[in-house]
Amino acid sequence: MNKHRFFAFGCSFTRWNDNPTWADFIGINYDKYYNFGIPGASNIFIMQKLIEADEVYNLNAETDCIIVALTGFGRFAYLEIPDKGGYVWQTNGDILFPNDEHPTKAKLIRNEIYNWPWAAYDSWIATTVIKKLLTLKGIEHKIIMALDNSHYINEAYTLGLDLEFENIGHIVPKIKDIYNILDIKEPIDIYRQNNNETLYSDDDQSKHPNGRIYYDYCLKHMPELLSDKSLDLLNTPTEIWKSKINKLI
């Protein structure tokens, strides 16, 4: 992937304030680096950001390299219009797992509107659109997975995924299709658990990987995208690494 611009899409596993992520270790090697990772983002939201980036930056095969890190299927983003005007997207993470810290509106959506089949369907739609857009444009890309979603396959009956959708039939084969198109089969959070689950960022409550986990993940699965700049970033003190990245983004 010898291009000038690098675009990263995903959730907080793609962009995080406490330490560099996989995207930073790769993006630092490009002339221009754009990180569209949003904490709490859903896969539909990630797809939307890719479409927006295409509208603004005219994504193309000549200059661009793109990596999309899919996130948890149970996430849901919704649009709010504040009293002061403007639009604000609310990204509250996986709302299908009860969390007292979720805002009232997210709890309402979980309890009254959203469900496991819909979540699986949304992620299949998002992944399909992402893959088709990048393929049709001939853009060098990788689709990876930040958070493991294998329970949508392993616990399909329990989650109510055994019924058929009109036109597309059962959703479980579609979920398997998502795993089949991944360029890297090992999700980042599974890699973290298998290697050293105690290696979190400085924020112990976040449960996000620290820089070493992200770097080692890239070294294992995408070594061709790393360089001495990547290693230097890993060894850069926390108070300095952000300025390095911010100069590029």
| Helical (H) or strand (E) element with 33 | strand 32-35
Q: Which of 36-50, 62-76, 204-218 is predicted with the least confidence, judged by mean pLDDT? A: 204-218
Positive or negative, the CA dihedral 234, 7, 79, 175 is negative
- Going from the C-alpha of 70 to that of each of 37, 48, 109, 181, the distances in angstroms are 10, 13, 22, 12
What pLDDT does residue 83 have?
A: 76
Burial of 85 (0-12, 13-18, 19+ CB in 10 A): exposed
Q: Does the structure show a pLDDT above 70 at 204?
A: no
Burial of 202 (0-12, 13-18, 19+ CB in 10 A): exposed
Q: Does the structure show a pLDDT above 90 at 223?
A: yes
Q: Which of 76-85, 120-129, 170-179, 204-213 is predicted with the least confidence, judged by mean pLDDT? A: 204-213
What pLDDT does residue 197 have?
A: 54
pTM of the model: 0.93
Contact assessment for residue 44 and residue 77, using Cβ atoms and an 8 Å cutoff: yes
Token pair, residue 189, equals: 């959070």
Mean pLDDT (the chain) is 91
What pLDDT does residue 181 have?
A: 94
Instruction: Write out pLDDT tens, residues 24-39.
Output: 999 999 999 999 999 9
Binning pLDDT at 50, 70 and 90, where does residue 248 land?
A: low
